[in-house]
Each structure stands twice: as C-alpha cells, then as structure tokens.
Chain A
Amino acid sequence: MASKRKKYEAAQGIGFLSPAMIVIGIFVMSSIVFALYISFHKVNLFTGYYEFIGLDNYKRIFTDTKTRIAFINILSFVAVVVPVQTILALVMAAVLNANIKGKVGFRTIYFLPTLTSSAALTMIFMFLFSLNGPVNQIALDMNILRESINFLNNPRFALKVIMSMNIWSTVPFFMTVYLAGLQEVPKSIYEASDVDGANSFQKFMHITIPQLKPITTFVLLMGIIGTFQMFDQAYIFSNGSGGPENSTLTVALLIYRNAFGQNNTMGFATAMSIVLSIVVFVVSFIAQKLNKSESLY
C-alpha cells in the first residue's frame, strides 16, 4: 500500500516536472553538448554537412584579427563599466538610504532606464549624440566644442557612448540591490560609531562598505556576466556591423555575425562562445576572490 502511494507520488512529481524538464533538457542541457560538438566541426549551414576539424576553430580564435579587436573592445568595456557602475550604485544607495523624504519618488525616477528596452534606450542615446542632437547643441552653446562631433560615426567615441549608456541604465538596478542589502546592516554598529565620534564619510568607508561586501560580490558578478555578453546595444548602435571601424565590435556581436553570416563559420562562432564563457567564468572567479581577500585587513 505504502509503496503504491510512493509510486503514485513519483508519477505526480514527474508529471509536474516534465514541461520544465523537456524545455531545459532540449534548450539547455542537450544544447551544451551540441555546442561542444559544433565547436569541433566546420558547419555548412546550407547542406547541413558537419566536417570534423579538431581544434582548428579554437586555434583560429588566437590568430583572427577581428576576434582580437572584439576581445580588446569588450575587455576595455568591462574594465570601465563594471567598477563605475558598482561604485555609483553603492554611493547612490547610501545617499538614498539616509533619512530622506521622497525616497519612493526618487527611486521611481531612477528606475526608468532599467525598465526601458535596450532597443529604445539605444535609439534615444543615438538621437542624443547625433550630429544635430542635444549633446552636440549643449556643448556648442557652452563653448565646450567648436563644431559638432559625429559621435556615432567616430571610432574614438562610439564605444564610449555605449559605455555611458550602459552605466546609466544599469546603476539603478544595482542601486536597488544595494538598498535591499543596507536594510540588513544592524543599526547598532552605526550607533556605536556615533559614540566614537565617526563622521558620515568614515561610517560609509568603515561600516557600510565592509558590511555590504557579499552584496558587492553579487553586483560585481552580475555586472561582469552582463557586460561581457553585451550585444543588443552594440548591434543596434552599428546596425549589426560593429562599426565605425570595428570600434563597437563586441565578442557577442562577432559570434552572431560569424554564426549567422554567409561564411559557414558557425563552428568558429560556437568555439568563440565557449571561450567567452570560460573568460567570463575566470574573471568572475578572480573578482570574487579579490573582493573576499580584501576583508582580511
């Protein structure tokens, strides 16, 4: 009797889980295996022919010029965006957490960029930075510029426009994560430091930052994972080309172009996607370690 009930419960469990298992099984688990398989092959999309070529796709990553450019672009992007967005989010969360009226109102406004799709955001920023757009106009009016800069078509500025947009749009999310973390910091620590005569800045440096360390790790990881895979903004900004002069060519964009272009480079693209994942994993691991070891002193 008992075993019959057990079997019945097992059948129910499988029944409840099966939709999720089918989707995850096909589109995640078997896809990982499939990705590894593809990465060792030369794929002809039109004939559907897979030719085994061993590690050639991986080797090509280290010799391909465009790949090098894409990796340099994305590394500089991560190196700028992640620290800036983390620090800004932390500072703004601390400010917002101070005893201030209208918190909800401020938070609602700050959250706008997070809600907006990358497509709409990129369009708005492209308008702002266009030749006759507001940024150029303001800079001209204030005599910062002598003549309009074509931000969108100038390789020196294109990636920086995307960087600033990315920071601007991700800070509110991480700020909210930090705000939630701040609620957990015991008030007694601040009160004790009040007795010792600490000022606000000292409290921020010596209590808030160390207490929020686990949250900072989370924010750094999320930031690293998000920025390394940056695709939408680069694609929309350059209409898929990665231009001007490859300045907005990110690894994710290059993967897309190789996979779905005309050159039968799907295997190469897959290999690149696996290498990108490994890079993300390693950088995340290092960031996590660094953030932890700091707490030793």
Chain B
Amino acid sequence: MNPQSTLPPTPAALPPKTGDPSAPAGPGSKGPRSEVKLFSGLGHVALAVWAVIVIVPILWTFLAAFKNTSEIFSSPWTLPAELRWENFGRAWTKAHVGRYFLNSVIVVSCSTFLTMLLGSMAAYVLARYKFWGNRAVYFLFVSGLAFPVFLALVPLFFVVKNLGLLDTHTGVVLVYTAYSLPFTVFFLAAFFKTLPSSVAEAGMIDGCGHSRLFFQVMMPMAKPGLISVAIFNIIGQWAQYQLPLVLLSNAKDKWVLTQGIADISVNAGYEADWSGLFAALTIAILPMIIVYAVFQRQIQAGLTSGAVK
C-alpha cells in the first residue's frame, strides 16, 4: 500500500556529478539499459498500485450499496448476493438524498451562473478600460485570493443573518458567488487582456454599444477561458462544506449534498442502516464520475489552467 517505496532514489544515490555535463553517465550501454527496464518495470507496478488504491474504495462502496447490513459486516469483499435496489429507494426518500442532490444542483447552477456573469463583467471592464481607480478595484478583488474563508466566518454569519438571508438558498448563492469572484476576476482579466482589440474596434465602428460589444463579441471570443473558470467554480462550489454548514444549519430541507451525506453518516450509526449510507454515497459519487468521464479533458484542463500559464 505504500507508494513511497517505489519512489526514485534521492540525489545522493545518483552517480557523482562530473564537471562536464556531456560526460556519459555509465561506462557501457548495458548498465543504462537494464536500469531503464527496472525503472519502467517498477513504474508500471507503482502506477497500477495507485490506480487500484484510487478505484477500489469507490468500487467497494458501489458494491456495498447493494448489500444488506449483515452482508456488509460478514463479507465486505464479496459481491452482493442479490441486487437490493431498495437501499437506493431508502436513501433517496427516507434519507432525503434526492432533495439534497436537487438543492446542490439548484444552488451550484445559480451561483455558477451569477459568478460567471458578474465575474466576467468586472474582469472585462478592469482588463480593457482605463479609468480612475481601476488598479485599486482589481487589487481589491485579487486580495481575496489570499484570505482564508475561516477568518471571515463569524462576521459573515451575522452579515447574512442581518440581511435576513440565513437558512435561504439566496444567501448561499450570493455568498458562493462573492467568494468565487477573486479567482474568476483574476483569471478572466488576464484572459480578456489577450483578446485582440481590432475586433472590438471594428464592432465600435459598426455602431456597437459597450454592452453589446461585451455580450455579442467579447463573451463569445472568451469562451475557452469562460469554460475553464466555470468548471473550476462548479467543482469548487459543489464541494463546499463549511459555508452551507454555517449558513443553512437550521433549515434541513435546504441542505446541500455534502451536508446531507455527512449527516446521514452520523445517523447511519444510530440506525444501523449501513447499506442505506453506502447507497447514499453511491448516489453522491456516481453522477460525478459520469460527468467527469464525459468531460474529463475539459475538466483537467479547466482545473489546472489557472496554475500553468
């Protein structure tokens, strides 16, 4: 189970460095070749082991979702004797996974839409217009990248409460959006800067207003950047746990999926409904796998593009 044992040797284990970088590493061709074989052999083993470590817990969860409690305890490693779909029914209705799922979809789609709209508007103006205070507003946004959410948690709770938005989806959507703006503005401002100004000028000459130019010319041109950031925001907001925990604590029917599943895991112990918990977990995990499998290229690119220029 320990992947560290297959790590490459430390620099100390390397052959001593000769001053001349072009000096051959080994005296003959035999040494390096067998080393290559060993290296790639170990590499294959390491990769396969890690793939197993990633896949097995998830697969095991899916299987356990079809078992009953006694099967889960007596034979955790065997296939379920029969496919007990009623576990899913119980998780969906009795444990309210269906509602939590729907809540997550509602909250994340609203807040991602709002984040993208407001974020791209702000980023566009900050990137392409010269005006007094431009830098100040830009740094105000970007400074948010450096702050841990936990610093603001207590006052945030009271701000939302005083606005009468505690235990409402509106409150959560607005807060998600606000906390997603720093990265969104930071990323998109850089992106809008790279777009050619000749197209914008042509649009202007044709009598295009500022807003129309933005929505009909710049937005379509910025599509690759917008998709990257949207994926980043969807995954981030879908995974949120601390904010809904604080902002929706007293409205159980408004809870999002992460909150709901965490709560079910506590209750499953009391009620000994382990198969229901596995079914709930499966319902939470499976759609993400499917969406990821379909869009994996865009998702990988979207999540890493912020870090590599």
Chain A partners chain B: no
B residues contacting A by CB (< 8 A) are: none
Q: Which residues of A are at the interface with B, using a C-beta cutoff of 8 A?
A: none
